[in-house]
Every structure is written in C-alpha cells, then in structure tokens.
Amino acid sequence: MDLFDLSGRTALVTGASMGIGLGLARALAAAGVRVVLNARGAERLEEAAATLRVEGAGVDILPFDVTDAEAAARAIDGYEARRPIDILINNAGIQHRAALEGFPVEAFDRLMRTNVNAAFYVARALAPHMIARGRGRIVNIASVQAALARPGIAPYTASKGAIVNLTKGMATDWARHGLCCNAIAPGYFDTPLNAALVADPEFCAWIERRTPAGRWGRIEDLAGACIFLASDASAFVNGQVIYVDGGMTACL
C-alpha cells in the first residue's frame, strides 16, 4: 500500500469552500495530505478550514480569484516560497443553464473563464515549481458532460470537453518533467451546483433510470480516484480521464 501513501505531501484544491472541492480536500487530508483550500472568499474558506481542522486535518487557506492569471501566480509563488505544492486539484467551476440560441454572451465568457481559463492559469503558475522538482500531480475535474450533452448546457459541455483536451496537452508537455496530469469526470452528483436538479423529482427519477448504479453520485465516491491519481500508484498514468459516473457513459 506504499504506492498510495500521501503522507507529508501538500495539495492545492481550487473551488474548495464547498461541494466536490471540499469533499476532495477532506479525502486527501484523511490520506495524510496537508490541504490548501482556495476560493475567492476568505470567510467561507475559513469556515471550511475550521471544519476540516476539527477532523484533524492540516489545512491552510489561499484565497485568490482563479480567473485572474496574475493573482493566481502571485498567490502560488508566495505559498511556494514557504512550502512546496505537490498536488493540484483544479476543481473550480460554475454552471449556467439557458437555451443555446439565447445563451447570454457574458454568461458564456464567464463560464469559460472559470471552467477552462482558470485551470490553465493555476496549472501554468504551479507547473514551473513542479518541473524544477521533477515531480508533481495535476488532477483536473472534468464532467460526464465532456462525453455527453443535454439541452440547455451546451457551453458547459464545451468547457468540460476543453478540460479533457487541456489535460491531454498538459500530459504531453509535462510528463517528460515528471508530472502526471489526469482528469476525473464525475457523473451526476448531489452537490450545491446541482441543487435545482436534485430538487426536481422528475429529473431525479430520470437519473435513477439512466444511471446503471441507480442513484446520484455522492462526493465520497470520488475519493478513491482522487487518491489514486494523486499518488505514486498512478506514476505511469498520464493524460487520462476517469469517469466516476455510476456507469452512465457505458450504456445507451
């Protein structure tokens, strides 16, 4: 089990004040990782950090706007001056639902900046530090929507498809330097981002019928894939996407 040992490592998790980001931070902390929580709001990060500290986790907060490349670089360089970041979980993301023919241009731009640009900005800021050390793990959070589409979320689908190919590009450029860059693609999970869908009985019934596992995903279902991709167990896994979707993409 030494291959999965993450003791003493440090992970930066973006979008970590709630939902999947906080859940992945909790899973990594339980595996012995010091977690660095990122979001824009320091107050919500402090609340999330306090929750994890009660559970015995080593936690720092690093508030900055992931859609601001210069802010991301300043924050990461500043933290790296004190402690190396071994693992990056690029999780920050938003959703906007609207018919494509009337989708607001400003909403499209905001969605792309948050879901795609931010992953590039944060990874670009951290990669030189990892390259200098000759090792690092980058885990980008994609979505089942990278492979499938539904009405009303075409730009979100485009953004997650971009994350999959950005992941492949990261692996292509950085694997030779000792970095492993992969993605996790969750299916439909019961998270704040999906609150409106979870509250819709008709949609919930559709999820149960459409997913071979017969249920919504739970955040803890992502822990194993995250620990695998963050650890030495995945040392020769690069540019790959692990769909954690209860079998949704496996069937018609």
Q: Name the residue among 152, 148, 143 with its Cα closest to residue 116.
A: 143
Sequence-separated (6 or more) residues with CB below 8 Å from residue 227: 4, 6, 27, 28, 31
Phi, psi of 213 (to 5 degrees): -70, -15
Show the CA angle centred on residue 126, arms to residues 193 and 89, nearest 5°.
Answer: 30
What is the identity of the amino acid at 203?
Answer: F
- In the residue annotation, 156 being an active-site residue is answered as yes
Average pLDDT by stretches of 10, the chain with 252 residues: 95 97 98 98 96 97 98 98 98 96 98 98 98 98 97 97 98 98 97 88 96 96 98 98 98 92
Look at residue 170 in the predicted model and tell me its pLDDT.
99
CATH 3.40.50.720 fits 2-245, yes or no: yes
Sequence-separated (6 or more) residues with CB below 8 Å from residue 135: 86, 178, 179
Q: Determine contact, residues 14/21, Cβ cutoff 8 Å.
A: yes
Q: Determine contact, residues 105/248, Cβ cutoff 8 Å.
A: no
Look at residue 143 in the predicted model and tell me its pLDDT.
98
Evaluate the CA torsion angle 143, 146, 147, 152 in order and state its sign.
Answer: positive
Helix, coil or strand: residue 55 = coil
What is the identity of the amino acid at 209?
Answer: R
Look at residue 196 in the predicted model and tell me its pLDDT.
87
Look at residue 81 in the predicted model and tell me its pLDDT.
98
Look at residue 46 in the predicted model and tell me its pLDDT.
97
Options 79, 121, 156, 188, the catalytic residue: 156
What is the identity of the amino acid at 226?
Answer: C
pTM for this prediction: 0.97
Helix, coil or strand: residue 249 = helix
